[in-house]
Chain A
Amino acid sequence: METSIPKISTVLKTLLRADFTTQWRNRRAVVLTLIVPVVILALWKVFVEKMGGPFVLSNSITIGLVATGLMGYSNSIARDRDKGIFQRLRVAPLPSWTIMGSRIIVQIVMILLITTFVFIIGKQYDGITLTPLAYVLTYFTALVGGVVYLSIGQMIVGRIQNPETVNSASRFIYFIFIMSGMLGEMYINEVGKTIHDIIVWSPYGTVKTILAAGMEPAKWNNNASMALLATLGYTVVCTTLGIKWFKWNTK
């Protein structure tokens, strides 16, 4: 009997099938993550006139991305690690990166689906349409934005072992992001300049900025480029720390 290492392509294909199946079986949880984006589209219909479609769409997509990347991803990783699911996979002859790689690919598909979903509801309910170039650019900025939340999720599961603590930590950050997004934007005068700046340059604000800018490519300015750089910077830092801290088992 010959012992041979399975091909990476076979391994990845198999992992992807299992991870997509898992994601599909959890579709109710995914639907829940779409509630807040939909609520924004519904309640903020009145702002479309005043603030513009990109303002509403970018907030809705940002919240959706935070929910899936930061909460969905980190919670599923924390749970599977705690159950020993990763350890069992890791004693198979596969490089560890394929396990995470497959999970990340599933998340990237989720990012694209959420973005598409918001586009559709935004068009149907709020009557917001973008130019074809703007749609393409927004898919790109949504990917960049979605990935920064994945990296924050990675940092949370890197730092925190206990799945319940991961859950509350990610919920807490999600809550902060929602509050700062909703209130900070509306009550600029009340919150003061410093807090406003913090919100604008937080991973919440920068993602919202690049999303909105991508929806109106003609208005892409220096500020948007800085926000893009900041988003990429956050991603690099959080990914590095998230991988460095990460342990495959909770024991």
Chain B
Amino acid sequence: MSKQQDNILTVDGLSISYGSFNAVQNVSFSVRRGEIFGLLGPNGAGKTSTLSAVEGLLKPQAGTILVDGNNAVSKPLHARASLGVQLQSTSFQPELFVIEVLQLYAGVYGVPASKADLMGILREINLEDSAMKKFGELSGGQQQRVSLVIATIHNPKLVLLDEPTTGLDPQSRRQLWERIEAIRERGHAVLLTTHSMEEAESVCDRIAIIDHGRVIAVDTPQGMIDKHRDDPEVIAVSRRGRITLEDVFIALTGKAIRS
């Protein structure tokens, strides 16, 4: 297998601007098949913008994006067919019942699914009893579970998750990570963003740190820690006696809070 085929996603020289503001500048990274890849960065770093370009929601000013070999700009439908997506803020038609939302997305992804199949999917996430509730009537964690099964309803080769654990209780978080790891076990890849360095450290195979629209480091979490453990900035912010990914992250991106 060539290197290109090893990668389910290749982002090369990506630049995105909103008006005159350059949100993403010359970003390059790739996600390998079967890995969990974390995109980390402070608020406003450009994570969601990068994902939006991969999803085809916005046209980049420059750069190439290949999803399973399909150019996201010139062959958007092919690229999106390999993608499962959970947006940072997802909403479904508030008039529809949960089961109908599932039916809608099974349909638009071309997955033949009977009502019984869909009930089976809901059973797997312990929401069988909520089939006839409206999406808005679910709790945040329940909504999150529904939007994750929708993201994976067509068994996509690459799943994009934008801050999937935000707002979840410890139980739901744990369960979510198990689901994400199950995707990896099926040989599929996950590209996610999170603000939890602890989670990224324990779950991600590789991470990229992005700041002010630029990638400043790509490595395994351990590799990144090892590489920077002797930096004076890292030692200065370290608080627990041992160096964590969070220490490296703060040292690399600075202590200031972002607007």
Q: Of A7, A15, A88, which is in contact with the most chain B CB atoms at under 10 Å from its CB?
A: A88
A94 CA to B107 CA in the complex, in Å? 11
Which of B80, B91, B92, B93 has a CB less than 8 Å from the CB of A91? B80
Q: Which of B77, B78, B89, B93 has the most CB of A within 10 A?
A: B93
B74 to chain A, nearest CB (A): 14
Task: For A2, give the chain B residue with the smallest CB separation.
Answer: B81
Q: Is A43 an interface residue (CB 8 A)?
A: no
Residues of chain B within 8 A (CB-CB) of A3 are 68, 78, 81-82, 157
Binds B, one of A18-26, A56-64, A219-227: A18-26
Closest chain-A Cβ to B167's Cβ sits at a distance in Å of: 16
A residues in contact with B83, CB < 8 Å: 91
Whole-angstrom distance from the CB of B79 to the nearest CB of chain A?
A: 8
Identity of the chain B residue whose Cβ is nearest the Cβ of A94 in the assembled complex: B108
Please tell me if the beta carbons of A14 and B108 are within 8 angstroms of each other in the complex.
yes
- If A91-B80, A92-B80 touch, whether A4 touches B90 (CB-CB below 8 Å) is no
Q: Are B85 and A10 in contact (CB under 8 A)?
A: no
Contacts of A7 in B (CB 8 A): 110
Q: Are B92 and A85 in contact (CB under 8 A)?
A: yes
A16 (CB) vs chain B CBs: closest residue: B107
- Say whether B201 faces chain A, with CB atoms less than 8 Å apart: no
Is the beta-carbon distance between A87 and B155 smaller than 8 angstroms?
Answer: no
Q: Are B104 and A5 in contact (CB under 8 A)?
A: no
- B156 to chain A: closest residue by CB: A3
Q: By the criterion of a CB under 8 Å from any partner CB, how many residues of chain A are at the interface?
A: 32
Known: A3-B68, A4-B81, A21-B95. A84 touches B90 (CB 8 A): yes
Contact check, A84 vs B87: say whether CB atoms are below 8 A apart: yes
Question: Do B103 and A91 have beta carbons less than 8 Å apart?
Answer: no
Q: Is A244 an interface residue (CB 8 A)?
A: no
Listed residue (B68, B106, B108, B110) with the most chain A CB atoms within 10 angstroms of its CB:
B108
* Nearest opposing residue in chain A for B91, CB measure: A83
- The one of B77, B93, B155 in contact with A94, judged by C-beta atoms closer than 8 angstroms, is B77
Whether, in the assembled complex, B100 has its beta carbon less than 8 Å from a beta carbon of chain A, the answer is yes
Asked if B56 lies at the interface with its beta carbon under 8 angstroms from chain A, I say: yes
> Does A1 lie at the interface of the complex (its beta carbon under 8 Å from any beta carbon of B)?
yes
**A91 lies within 8 A of B108 (CB):** no
Known: A1-B157, A3-B82, A22-B95. A90 touches B109 (CB 8 A): no
* Contact assessment for B77 and A88 in the assembled complex, using a CB-CB cutoff below 8 Å: no
Q: Which residue of B lies closest to A83 (CB)?
A: B91
Expressed in whole angstroms, the minimum distance between the Cβ of B17 and any Cβ of chain A is: 14
CA distance A113 to B106 in the complex (A): 30
- The residue on A at minimum CB distance from B94 is A83
Residues of A68-123 contacting chain B, CB below 8 A? 80, 83-85, 87-95
The answer to the question of A192 belonging to the interface, with a C-beta cut-off of 8 Å to chain B, is no
Chain B residues whose C-beta falls within 8 Å of the C-beta of A90 in the assembled complex: 56-57
Ranked 7 nearest A-B pairs via Cβ: A6-B110, A14-B107, A83-B91, A93-B81, A25-B95, A93-B80, A91-B85
Interface residues of A, Cβ cutoff 8 Å to B: 1, 3-7, 10-11, 13-15, 17-18, 21-22, 25-26, 80, 83-85, 87-95, 248-249
What are 14 contact pairs spanning A and B, CB under 8 A? A5-B81, A14-B103, A14-B104, A14-B107, A17-B104, A17-B107, A18-B93, A22-B93, A83-B94, A85-B93, A88-B90, A91-B57, A92-B108, A249-B57
Which B positions have Cβ atoms within 8 angstroms of A? 55-57, 68, 77-78, 80-83, 85, 87, 89-96, 100, 103-110, 155, 157
